[in-house]
Amino acid sequence: MENTEKTIENKSFFSGISRNVVALGITSFLTDFSTELFYPLLPVFLTTILKAKYTFVGLIEGVAETTASLLKLISGWLSDKLNRRKALVVGGYGLSGLTRPIIAISTAGWHILGARFVDRIGKGFRTAPRDALIADSTSPENRGKAFGFHRSMDHAGAVVGPIVAFIIMASIVFGSGFFGDLFGNTNKSNQLISNSENTKENQIDEHTYRVVFWCSSIPAILSVLVLIFFVKDVRQKNETKAKLPLLTLKP
């Protein structure tokens, strides 16, 4: 009894979290990092650079989120039927990754609409199979921990993305020495902050946005590579076959 208690006490927080769960967590981190690099900038890019109307921006997000919601039901059913969750997950993340370069080269609002539509198709196809794969890869007593780890990685990516986007844009607009001046000399810091508040919108030009959009492709590609090389499909046994031995029992 004492040995058992010591074993339980010595278990780390990450015990029970499989390699699949870790890899899927890293994938979600990279994907959300990629998404949040460009997503907060899209409305401004659409309205100031592509001259789209505000109603069109709302239409894009309405179509995108509706698409993702409807496809989650289909993808969950399909992953159960095929018993091949990884293929749907890779396909979903891959589709989303393909939209990053499309957004970077977009010259019209409908290009963004198409890219966001495809991006949400990818999200709709990957979400349910991914969650099922996490459950399949984890013992029942550790599933809460596994899903908690995955969600924390997901949100961490969403935090890092806008920060990196700000760093890239500030470096382009104000120069590479911006952060050294900002945190170094107090008087110069105040001057920089005052200048940044008076910066005209057209100083953040089209090139700056497109650089950030292209940068968002890098973590998106890495996320798919992590999936391909580090995640394994977990095949579920047919429940009907598991019950067949009961039929051989004598009455």
Q: What is the pLDDT of residues 113-165, one digit of tens each?
A: 999 999 999 999 999 999 999 999 999 999 999 999 999 999 999 999 999 99
The DSSP secondary-structure symbol of 50 reads S
For the chain, helix, strand, coil in percent to 5 are 80, 0, 20
The owner of tokens 């179509």 is: 63
pLDDT score for 5: 34
Q: Where are the domains of the chain?
A: 18-231
pLDDT value, residue 243: 45
- Angle of helix 19-38 relative to helix 109-136, nearest 10 degrees, comes to 160
To the nearest 10°, report the CA torsion of 16, 18, 22, 24: -120
pLDDT band at 83 (very low <50, low <70, confident <90, very high): confident
Q: Among 12-21, 49-58, 166-175, 177-186, which is the least confidently predicted range?
A: 177-186
Residue 204's pLDDT band (boundaries 50, 70, 90)?
confident
Name the residue with higher pLDDT: 16 or 10.
Answer: 16
Q: Is the domain defined by 18-231 classed in CATH 1.20.1250.20?
A: yes
Indicate if the pLDDT at residue 185 is higher than 60.
Answer: no
Could you tell me if 100 and 213 are in contact, meaning their C-beta atoms sit under 8 angstroms apart?
A: yes
Mean pLDDT in the chain? Answer: 83
pLDDT in tens, 35-76: 999 999 999 999 999 999 999 999 999 999 899 988 988 999
Tokens describing residue 247: 């039929």
Tell me how far apart the alpha carbons of residues 239 and 131 are, in angstroms, rounded to a whole number. Answer: 20
Range in 20-24, 126-130, 159-163, 236-240 with the lowest mean pLDDT: 236-240
The stretch 239-249 carries a mean pLDDT of 44
In angstroms, the CA 30 to CA 138 distance is: 22
pLDDT band, residue 238 (cuts 50/70/90): low
* Residue 84, pLDDT score: 87
pLDDT of residue 239: 47
pLDDT of residue 184: 54
Rounded mean pLDDT of 89-94?
96
Mean pLDDT throughout 189-218?
72
More confident residue, 186 or 130: 130
Six-digit token string for 155? 């949100």
* Amino acid 164: pLDDT: 96
Angle (CA) 26 27 32, round 5°: 100
Tokens of 11: 């278990």
Provide the pLDDT for residue 216: 97
Is the separation of the CB atoms in 30 and 220 below 8 Å?
yes
Query: Which residues touch 168 (CB under 8 Å, ≥6 apart)?
Result: 211, 212, 215
Rg (CA), the chain: 23
Q: How far, in Å, CA of 172 to CA of 22, rounded?
A: 35
CA distance 20 to 230: 7
